[in-house]
Every structure is written in C-alpha cells, then in structure tokens.
Structure 1
Amino acid sequence: MTTSDDLTVLGALAEPSRRALYDHVAAADSPVSREQAAQAVGLPVHSAKFHLDRLVEEGLLDVEFKRLSGRSGPGAGRPTKLYRRSGRTLDVSLPPRRYDLAGAILAEAFDAVTVTGGALRDAVATAAATTGRELAAQPPAPRARRPLARVAQLLERYGYEPRLSPDGTELALDNCPFDRLAREHTDLVCSLNLALVEGAVDGLGCPEVRPRLDPTPGHCCVRATTTTST
C-alpha cells in the first residue's frame, strides 16, 4: 500500500459525520450496530449506514453479524450487522518514509547476528539484498521494457522517488525512505540502501543496471547506471 493509497483512505475521514462515526466505533468496547452508532452521533440511521459502509469499503472498519438476542433457530430473527475498527495500519508521511521496511531489515539482521555471531553490517547487507529480491517478486511486475526504467518503477512503490536522466542511462533517487535513520546512522543506512537496490536489480533480472553509492544532500545515497538507454 502506497502513501497515495493511504492518503485516499484518510480522505474518507474528512467528512465530519463519517469521522464521528469512526471515532465512536473505534472507541467502543465491542462491535456496534448502525442504530447504536447513529444514535451516538446524532445521525439518521440511513445516513449512518451510508457512512459506515464507506468506512468498510476503505478498510477502516470490519463487520460481523450476530443475533443480539442471543437466540438461534427459527424465529430468532436475522443477525444484526455490527461494526468494529479494523486492524489496518495507515502510515502517511510526505515525502514518503518506510521505517517499517528498515525495521524489518534490521530485525532480520539482528536475528542473524544472534545466531551466527557475524558482523552486523554484513548481516544488514544480506537482509537488505534479500528484501530487495522479495520486493521485486511482488506483483504487479514493472511494465517498462528497459531495465533501468523497470528498476525505477519498482523503487517508486517504496518511496524512492526515482528520476531517470533524459537519455535514460542514469537513475537518481530523489528521496530516502529511511531519511531520519540515515541522518543518524549514515554509513549503515547507506549500505542498507545500496544492498536493497542491488537485491531489487537482481530480483528483476536486470544485470545491465549497476547501482552505486553517490551521496548527495537531500537525496538517496544510491544512483544507478546502465549502458542500455530507455
């Protein structure tokens, strides 16, 4: 899920009545019916139903069906549709940041060091490269024909804000998804970035693409070149 997708979802909460319904459901100790939610925020039931179902569509609420009377069998009536907060997590930042991705890589590296006793930097590079290959394997596959453009399309999903040179032979990354970490632990995070991009290149099957470290203030420390133009 991209930052743009999360912003779209959060936009559903811009409508005051919908936000009030979401806040009520999220704060409830147990799932609530549309009638209960409507009464709590002072809305007609049909309006509450519309907004609640929109929140379900956006993945902010989940639903379940339950007979509130506790009875079952013939004559027990239809189950009531109940709403509860979903387990979805939204993480929006501008420019995009992916500290969750960095955290997963560092945790994997720590686990590896705990088992093998190896060097942390080497473990981080290995974990980052593995993650890069895994990202490359996730659908949908980049649709660009040229190798560097394919790499750019993949990295765009993860907040790197790639920018191809006019002749299509060089790729700059205008944003570091791990910016705060990179400021405090520059060498470690730059090596993580390089290994991740190298893994992504390998996973996409683009041996023509050559990532390298080329730190530039305000940008990701990794650039990539190719001898094949886009």
Structure 2
Amino acid sequence: MRIDEDARPGAGRVLAAVRDAAAGVTAAELGSRLGLHVTTVRFHLDRLAADGLVAGRAAPSGGRGRPRVVYQAVRVPDARVGMLAALADAAAGEGPAAERAQRAGERWAEGLDVDGLDPVAALVAVFTELGFAPAPFEGGLALRACPFLEDARRHPEVVCGVHRGLALGIARRAGASIELRPFEGGVCVLAIA
C-alpha cells in the first residue's frame, strides 16, 4: 500500500505538498500551506522519512538557534515504466535470462535519485514507491507485497532477476551488498550486508 493511499490522509497531504516544493520545504512552511499545526506536520514528516519517501537536510537558520530542516521528496519513477524498460533490456540482451534480467535491474537502479541515503533508507524509498510494502527487520527488509506477483511466480528468473538487480544496484550505490531471497516464508527478503 502506498503512503498516499493509506488510512493517514494527513500524511498523503504532507507528502503531496513536499513533492510540490521541488527546492524543499520546512515543517513550519508546510503547516502554513496546509493549515495544520507544525507538530502534526512534523509527526507526518517523521513517518514519511522512516518510510523513505522524504529526506530532511539541515539548512542554516539565518540567525541564532538550531539549523532548520528542509524536506524534499525522494523521487522514484513509476514501477510499471521502470519494469517495462528493464524487461525490454533483458529481452534484448545476450546470455541466460536470469543474468540479463539482473543486469537490466542494475541499469534501472543507475537512473534513480537515491544518492546520500543510507542503504536501508534508499531501498525502503524505492521499494515502497514501487508497491512492495517493505518492512525493516534486523539484517534486512521483508517485501510484503509484489505488484508483479503472478508474473514472478511464472517467471521468477526474469521478474525476480530484475528486482534482484535493482536492489543490488541501489545497495552498491549506498556502499552495501544485498541478497534477494524470493518467496521465503510468504515474503521476499532483502538481506543487507
């Protein structure tokens, strides 16, 4: 379930407003724009940051006191568009299907805006936006949903291969390594090293 479709309408409004503010926005500015108390906005921003959908950075306050935090949305392209492009790359390549699919997923990862995020935050951001409902656990992430589940069951070497490559590419950019274990205990597991 995507954050903007869940039962927290305030979070969806805050996320939409952060996405609209391309240069970044503070909690106080969001509160003014949305007619929400700044504490409520901060609550939603904390949750959105934990889900990897927004990232905050310190900016000089221009005076005394703590630096203000400016939030920006983590941009992830549409899952269907990225998946179609990756599948086309995999189909056009040479070699075994699983290897072609993984390379295509790695190329997909190269185009994502995840620089500056730690490995878990980057993976959570991308896989949340793609519809995988990642849940962090000690040592990795459980992907509780798959928007391509039927196809993944029929052709795991291709569909899971693309997702493996995507995860590997993201983790590599963040200085980590990862292993995708499909269909483990009813979920797919991303084990992060």
Q: TM-score, normalised by structure 1?
A: 0.44
Residues 161 and 175, structure 1, Cα contact 8 Å, conserved in 2: yes
TM-aligned CA distance change 1:183 to 1:202, over 3 Å: same
Between the aligned partners of 1:134 and 1:155, the Cα distance in structure 2 is 15
> Aligned to 2:135, what secondary structure does the other structure show?
strand
**Structure 1 residue runs without a partner (length 5+):** 9-96
Give the equivalent residue in structure 1 for 2:129.
157
> Aligned to 1:172, what secondary structure does the other structure show?
strand
Number of aligned residue pairs: 121
Residue 105 in structure 1 maps to residue 75 in structure 2: no
Deviation at 1:181, TM superposition (A): 0.9
Give the equivalent residue in structure 2 for 1:200.
170
Deviation at 1:211, TM superposition (A): 2.4
> Aligned to 1:164, what secondary structure does the other structure show?
strand
List aligned pairs for 1:13-162, cutoff 5 A.
Answer: 98-113=79-94, 118-135=95-112, 138=113, 141=114, 146-162=118-134
Q: Percent identity?
A: 23
The residue type equivalent to 1:159 in the other structure is G
List aligned pairs for 1:215-226, cutoff 5 A.
Answer: 215-216=183-184, 218-219=186-187, 221-226=188-193
TM-aligned CA distance change 1:185 to 1:171, over 3 Å: same
The residue type equivalent to 1:147 in the other structure is P
The residue type equivalent to 2:152 in the other structure is A
Provide, for residues 126-152 of structure 1, a one-character-per-residue CA deviation record: whole Å limited to 9, x for no partner.
Answer: 1111112222xx2xx4776x5323322
Q: TM-score, normalised by structure 2?
A: 0.51
Q: Which has the higher strand share?
A: 2
Between the aligned partners of 1:155 and 1:133, the Cα distance in structure 2 is 15
Between the aligned partners of 1:142 and 1:159, the Cα distance in structure 2 is 21
> Aligned to 1:176, what secondary structure does the other structure show?
coil
Over aligned residue pairs, what C-alpha RMSD do you find? 3.0
TM-aligned CA distance change 1:161 to 1:206, over 3 Å: farther
Between the aligned partners of 1:121 and 1:214, the Cα distance in structure 2 is 13
TM-aligned CA distance change 1:126 to 1:153, over 3 Å: same
Residues 163 and 174, structure 1, Cα contact 8 Å, conserved in 2: yes
Give the equivalent residue in structure 2 for 1:178.
148
Deviation at 1:218, TM superposition (A): 4.1
Which structure ranks higher in relative contact order (CA pairs < 8 Å, sequence separation ≥ 6)?
Answer: 2
Provide, for residues 11-40 of structure 1, a one-character-per-residue CA deviation record: whole Å limited to 9, x for no partner.
Answer: xxxxxxxxxxxxxxxxxxxxxxxxxxxxxx
Which has more radius of gyration? Answer: 1
TM-aligned CA distance change 1:119 to 1:180, over 3 Å: same
Residues 119 and 175, structure 2, Cα contact 8 Å, conserved in 1: yes
Between the aligned partners of 1:112 and 1:104, the Cα distance in structure 2 is 12
Between the aligned partners of 2:157 and 2:100, the Cα distance in structure 1 is 14
Between the aligned partners of 1:180 and 1:152, the Cα distance in structure 2 is 22
**Structure 2 residue runs without a partner (length 5+):** 10-77
